[in-house]
Structure 1
Amino acid sequence: MKILQALFFPPEQPGGVSSMVPYIKERFNHVDDEMELFSLPKRIRNKGSEQVSFKTFDYTPYIGNKLVDKYIQTYRDYLWWTKMRINQSYDLIHAHHPIAAMVMKQVFPNTKLVLTLHSSYERELILNKAIEPDGVEQQFLTKIYRELEVVADRILTVSHAFKNYLADYVEHVDRIKVIHNGFDEKRFRPTAHENEVTQFITVCRLVPAKGLDVLLRACARLKAKGHPFMLHIIGDGPIRKELEALAQSLGLYDDIIFYGYMLHPEQFMPFFDVFVLPSRAEAFGSVFAEAALCQLALVGTDVGGIAEQIQHRVNGLLVPVEDDEALAEALESVVIDPDFRYQLALAASNKAKKDYSLERVIAQLKKVYREELASNNP
């Protein structure tokens, strides 16, 4: 098989997709199959000028909205770059972004197209207070799902929770297959260590959707009870200054370190004790699997893909969204009982190795690819 993996962001960008697909390519290219990566460089802006049309809806009533106009221009740019850079054919194309999928089907209409939907852009925008619920932007972005259902030969997604979310926007949700993200175990090396003070770590983009304001309030509760800890925050984003100010106002200045963006946090993670991220929504939450492979205890919110990774009090702790009191109690339980914390971390690591191995993902993808290629000759 000659396969093209069509990304949106370049592989060097942070995030679950960009950090996973290059490792899949490496493994595929060690066997009989050939795989290439393709993405839109950041420098490509406002190059495309072709007209855009969709099969399932007319987008022209949305023209003039800033987000919609940017989306359409990005589509044109991706189309321009694809036509300029790709001059060969493939047996199958696997896209990892809606724009990549739609463009690839336009350029290669007779090539089998598999699409993985990794997250919900509109839901993230709403949680980050960038758009209003039920507004023009959400209407436009959710219509894209039906377009993708028509364009793609097979749709995959990363969690059952996200598949259920898509049910409101597609006609045949039963045709969507769930394949969880996979991770190369060689990247993760748990390190034996003994910290005198419990070390919490979180890794994420600093945006409202990640719930770090809830985490800081929970830490303030924990500190008020007299439990020592350190919280390490890796990541950057638009609300960093706001979070730093909140930490100051809560009296947490000496208990938190803001590191900013880090390309390979998995190299840093094994030296900590607990990974915590109280997201308000998460399609899968790759960073939880990564933290589990580093053998950290996991604390997260009972939402989306997080809840599919964590079985409460077995391989981690789940708390309700927006509940800083419950989060503080969960953190307290792993601070005061190191044995409990260790058992959670060990169980999380064992589950991640079993369920999220790269070999498992490759085997599942190969099966999907071969099924799609076989369907050309029924």
Structure 2
Amino acid sequence: MKRVLFVIDSLNSGGAEKSLISLLTLFDYSKYKVDLLLFSKQGLYLPLLPKQVRLLEVPDSVKSYEEGIRKLIADRKFKTLFNKMMLYIAHRQNIQRKRKHHAQINWRWMADRIAKLDTTYDAAIAYSQGIPTYFVAEKVHAAKKFCWINTDYRAAQYDKKFDAPFYARFQNIVAVSDVNKEVFTAEMPEAAGKTKVVYDIVSTAMISAMALQKGGFEHDCDGTRILTIGRLVESKGYDLAIEACIRLKEKGYRFVWYIIGEGPLKEELERSIKSNGLNEHMKLLGTFHNPYTFLKQSDIYVQPSRFEGFGLAIAEARCLQKPVVATNFPVVHNQIKDRWNGLIVQMSGEALYEGIRELIDDPGLRDSIIQHLKIEDVGTENEIHKVYELIESNIDGAETQP
């Protein structure tokens, strides 16, 4: 039985986290013994982790970076204290923030204080870019190493020179869409030959079953229910959603726009919703283990993102035959054919408003999109066989030891 390690920051809400849970739910535990390392042993999806997966303890050397200054002094962890102070300074230097992604700044000052894992694995998988990738490259002993790219690498603004030596140590790099691969290999051409596409796992059967469970909206909506799912971060385009919401209200449409997600922009969004008089029209719901009951009860799904790696929530909306309005980020074309199974609009609040307005006003277009969605095969469960192929493959040419 092969030993496989997955590494990801946490199991908080997010597309990569949800995709990993879906993958692990389908995994063949008669052939593989699976460990999971989280740098934060918590998260929305933690209760959904299959019982066959062994959740590793967060290494003490990682935990120490979460400790306060007084605790570090009391424990005489002076080198960690120094690194933590330098990390604090680095994040506040404009020149550092412009040159490097925050994960790269973190690793620069954390790496030498983080211990290597004792266990040797047959395969180690970094399931997102940034810290998990750096950790698997330098701190894990494994016969084979693979890493996932599940964001728009160019838009995320990673420093390519910093990343290149890390990616050189992986046998394969996995992009979660064709466009995702094109963007990454254009930025990192030396990795083009070993970069493959494995789509995020979307289980139509699981989503449909969970959508029928108890839950969902607690109150009736006198009008159209609009839903957006995603972390409350700038890349998700919630400012554009608020602009569209303002226009819908001005034009007298009856609707409520619900948002499922948490993140650093929550307070800012709450202030914007209040200051624009949208309290009755835009609701921040928080996060849920099962968002599919809400999705099933919605009329329109909206994705106002500036960029995505794949767009997992769009795939989930398609599974439940919900008309989608999405902004024109590059990877959206992997899933949506404009006016066939959804609407693709320009990246502005006005364009979002026009797309939503058209779906509300034109029941013929809405019904046509729903009929096309009913005949689509959205499920990507078979992608797990590509993961097995990676684990079982015989690949030479990349450094695998820390």
Q: TM-score range by the shorter chain?
A: 0.7 to 0.9
Residue 388 of structure 2 is aligned with which of 362, 366, 372? 366
Match of 1:18 in 2: 17
Identity %: 24
1:127-181 superposed Cα distances (whole Å, 9 cap, x missing partner):
xxxxxxxxxxx5xx33243223311011111122222222123424243111110
Q: How does 1:245-324 map to 2 (within 5 A)?
A: 245-321=271-347, 323-324=348-349
* Structure 1 unaligned blocks of 5 or more: 52-61, 127-137
CA distance 1:300–1:100, change in 2 (3 Å):
same
Alpha-carbon distance in 1 for matches of 2:352, 2:297: 22
Match of 1:91 in 2: 122
State the shift of 1:31 in Å: 4.4
1:276-309 superposed Cα distances (whole Å, 9 cap, x missing partner):
0211111212111122223321111111322311
1:215-241 superposed Cα distances (whole Å, 9 cap, x missing partner):
121122223333221111122233333
CA distance 1:254–1:297, change in 2 (3 Å):
same
1:16-57 superposed Cα distances (whole Å, 9 cap, x missing partner):
2222223323322354343332222357433699x9xxxxxx
State the shift of 1:272 in Å: 0.7
Q: What's the secondary structure of 2:340's corresponding residue?
A: coil
Residue 101 of structure 1 is aligned with which of 121, 124, 133? 133
Alpha-carbon distance in 1 for matches of 2:142, 2:283: 52
Alpha-carbon distance in 2 for matches of 1:3, 1:343: 48
1:190-212 superposed Cα distances (whole Å, 9 cap, x missing partner):
56x99762110111122222111
Match of 1:334 in 2: 359
Q: What's the secondary structure of 1:14's corresponding residue?
A: coil
Report the TM-score when normalising by structure 1: 0.78
Alpha-carbon distance in 2 for matches of 1:266, 1:274: 13
**Contact map agreement 2:154 2:183 (CA 8 A) in 1:** no
Match of 2:106 in 1: 70
Report the TM-score when normalising by structure 2: 0.74
Say whether 1:185 aligns with 2:208: no
Amino acid at match of 1:116: W
Alpha-carbon distance in 1 for matches of 2:291, 2:110: 30
**Contact map agreement 2:308 2:331 (CA 8 A) in 1:** yes
**Contact map agreement 1:143 1:169 (CA 8 A) in 2:** no
Residue 380 of structure 2 is aligned with which of 344, 357, 363? 357
Match of 2:35 in 1: 36
Q: What's the secondary structure of 2:262's corresponding residue?
A: coil
Match of 2:72 in 1: none
Amino acid at match of 1:28: F
State the shift of 1:92 in Å: 1.6
CA distance 1:22–1:234, change in 2 (3 Å):
closer
CA distance 1:263–1:74, change in 2 (3 Å):
farther
State the shift of 1:331 in Å: 0.3
CA distance 1:349–1:234, change in 2 (3 Å):
farther
CA distance 1:219–1:101, change in 2 (3 Å):
closer
Q: What's the secondary structure of 2:368's corresponding residue?
A: helix
Say whether 1:118 aligns with 2:159: no
Q: What's the secondary structure of 1:188's corresponding residue?
A: helix
Alpha-carbon distance in 2 for matches of 1:245, 1:272: 25
Residue 149 of structure 1 is aligned with which of 167, 181, 201? 167
CA distance 1:151–1:63, change in 2 (3 Å):
farther
For this pair of structures, how many residues does the alignment match?
341
CA distance 1:372–1:223, change in 2 (3 Å):
farther
Deviates more, 1:340-349 or 1:311-320: 340-349
Match of 2:235 in 1: 209
**Contact map agreement 1:5 1:38 (CA 8 A) in 2:** yes
Alpha-carbon distance in 2 for matches of 1:210, 1:45: 30
**Contact map agreement 2:171 2:396 (CA 8 A) in 1:** no
Match of 1:4 in 2: 4
Match of 1:134 in 2: none
Q: Alignment RMSD, CA only?
A: 3.3
Structure scoring higher RCO (CA < 8 A, sep ≥ 6) equals 2
State the shift of 1:311 in Å: 0.9
* Structure 2 unaligned blocks of 5 or more: 42-57, 67-76, 80-86, 92-101
Match of 2:70 in 1: none
CA distance 1:225–1:297, change in 2 (3 Å):
same
CA distance 1:23–1:251, change in 2 (3 Å):
closer
Amino acid at match of 2:368: Q
